[in-house]
Amino acid sequence: MKKVTISTLIKMKQEKEKIACLTAYDASFAKLFDTCGIDLLLIGDSLGMVLKGEDSTLGVTVEEVAYHVKSVKNGVERTLIVADMPFMSYATPEQTYLNASKLMSCGANMVKVEGGKWLLESVKGLVERGIPVCGHLGLTPQSVNVFGGFKVQGRTSDKAEEMLSAAIDLQEAGIQLLVLECIPSALAQLISAKLDIPVIGIGAGPETDGQILVMHDMFGISANYMPKFSKNYLAQNKDISSSVHQYIEEVKNGSFPGPEHSFE
């Protein structure tokens, strides 16, 4: 199978083929996911919660993400690799360029940053320097203390308009992928339709261009809790490989996420 690139994902959006994504943190799981046909793997700062057992993502460092990027890279042949930029690792453009280059040199194909219009200068600078960027709007876990907890975002008309405007501005600045987390399905559908780049949802309903789950949630083994937007695929299957194949199939045919995994 051909290597998945950003161009591959854009073509999938144009052809209305859903994009199936998971998090990964080591070579063994990355190889299994890659073999199963997953399109994109994210080395998420979720590792702070699912690997380290912390109550947020805020304690994750660039060095920790870089270590796991190297591990995942060693297990992957075709899947696109995206690396999270940890909390406060992209507070200024200069800091952003330095830390993003570290993650790219470890094997990432793209870096992901959380936030809206305040990121535009950094996004432009990264793209100008040859570093592809994935945006992240909605429930951005690094802002959990500002939000007052892990809460659904974009439920009021003004907040929805603000998010749509930020998504458009980020695309114009150069992002080539966008993650929407924990927002109403109708808003996610609107943003996905307005953008030319692929939009990946997590708790954002079925009408985005693709879906992503934290692998530990998908297997029902998260240390803290099971989010509403997740589904335990291991409970329905005899092994991990079968679980991943079912997840990919349900994303591709549009049966996941269902109403029970979405927000109105």
Task: Report the catalytic residues.
Answer: 181
Residue 114 assigned ligand-binding role: yes
From the number of C-beta atoms within 10 Å of its C-beta (0-12, 13-18, 19+), residue 63 rates as exposed
- Between vectors from CA 242 to CA 236 and to CA 247, what angle results, nearest 5°? 75
Residues in the chain: 264
- Amino acid code (one letter) for 250: E
Residue 46 assigned ligand-binding role: yes
Closest among 193, 62, 44, 168 to 116, alpha carbons compared: 168
Rounded Cα gap, residues 211 and 135, in angstroms: 15
Pair 183, 154: CB distance under 8 Å? yes
Cα dihedral 188, 232, 85, 100 sign: negative
Residue 112 assigned ligand-binding role: yes
Kindly state the helix (H) or strand (E) to which residue 101 belongs, with its residue range: helix 93-105
Residue 45 assigned ligand-binding role: yes
Point out the annotated binding site: 45-46, 84, 112, 114
Residue ranges for the known binding site for 3-methyl-2-oxobutanoate are: 45-46, 84, 112
Instruction: Report the binding-site residues for Mg(2+).
Output: 45, 84, 114
